[in-house]
């Protein structure tokens, strides 16, 4: 039985003050929940505040990105060592917004994962198709290419996969539970054919997840959690998703 895993990706939201208010309100709402792994990934500038407030809690601290070099003249980037110094234990890599707006390729994603894992950071790898690709019946082809490129020469140790159909991110549209599970099942079968440990790796769904649909999504056999965007910006909303996942 894979333990449910619910992660908050705050993207470019939340000041330090807002981070503090959120965490102080959120932690009492999920106190004592041990059947779900919970992660919050704030902005880089809020990592210190979040690290202090989450210490000794049941919530993991994550980061939204990392660079593929250890240090150097890379203005604006952040290294695995920096994340570790902020007590991060996990990092999100390959989010569709990074791919779309910052031209990240599978090769770049692969290099980032390798650097993160070399430094013992766990990784949430994001993959998913656009609306045009889905309508052209290319979903599995796209997932195959992203998995092949992003996981090249890598084991599944310390990895989580997040399936995020781009057409459902921030749009209010959500893949049906059957659509989500179909994609998750394809991902797991691909992993079985190409890697060891496919049955134990967790696959999250991302795309307009909210308290109202988390129970249905989590009822599917290959949906192991969620990577949550907008609905993770309010404590009661994110707590509702966590408690919904705890019902699996």
Active site residues: 95, 164
The residue among 84, 7, 91, 6 whose CA lies nearest residue 51 is 84
The residue among 206, 173, 202 whose CA lies nearest residue 187 is 202
The three-point CA angle 122-128-133 to 5° equals: 165
**DSSP labels, 141-170:** HHHHHHHHHHTTT--STTEEEEE--GGGSS
165-177 exposure pattern, b = at least 16 Cβ within 10 A, e = fewer: bbbbbeeeebbeb
β-pair type (159-163, 122-127): parallel
**DSSP labels, 101-135:** HS---HHHHHHHHHHHHHTT-EEEEEE---HHHHH
Q: Which is it for the CA torsion 155, 4, 104, 119, positive or negative?
A: negative
């Amino acid at each position: 039985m894979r333990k449910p895993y619910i992660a908050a990706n705050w993207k470019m939201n939340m000041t330090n003050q807002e981070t503090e208010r959120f965490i102080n309100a959120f932690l009492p709402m999920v106190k004592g929940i041990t059947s779900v792994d919970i992660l919050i990934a704030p902005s880089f500038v809020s990592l210190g505040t979040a690290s202090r407030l989450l210490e000794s809690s049941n919530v993991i601290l994550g980061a939204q990105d990392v660079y593929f070099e250890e240090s150097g003249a890379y203005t604006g980037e952040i290294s695995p060592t920096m994340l570790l110094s902020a007590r991060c234990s996990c990092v999100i890599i390959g989010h569709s917004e990074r791919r779309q707006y910052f031209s990240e390729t599978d090769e770049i994603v692969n290099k980032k994962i390798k650097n993160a894992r070399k430094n013992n950071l766990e990784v949430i790898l994001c993959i998913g198709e656009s609306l045009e690709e889905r309508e052209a019946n290319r979903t599995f082809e796209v997932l195959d290419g992203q998995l092949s490129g992003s996981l090249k020469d890598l084991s599944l140790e310390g990895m989580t996969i997040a399936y995020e159909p781009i057409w459902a991110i921030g749009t209010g549209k959500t893949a049906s539970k059957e659509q989500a599970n179909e994609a998750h099942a394809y991902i797991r079968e691909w992993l079985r054919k190409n890697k060891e440990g496919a049955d134990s790796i967790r696959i999250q769904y991302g795309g307009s997840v909210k308290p109202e649909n988390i129970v249905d999504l989590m009822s599917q056999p290959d949906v192991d959690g969620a990577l949550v965007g907008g609905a993770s910006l309010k404590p009661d909303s994110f707590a509702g998703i966590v408690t919904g996942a705890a019902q699996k």
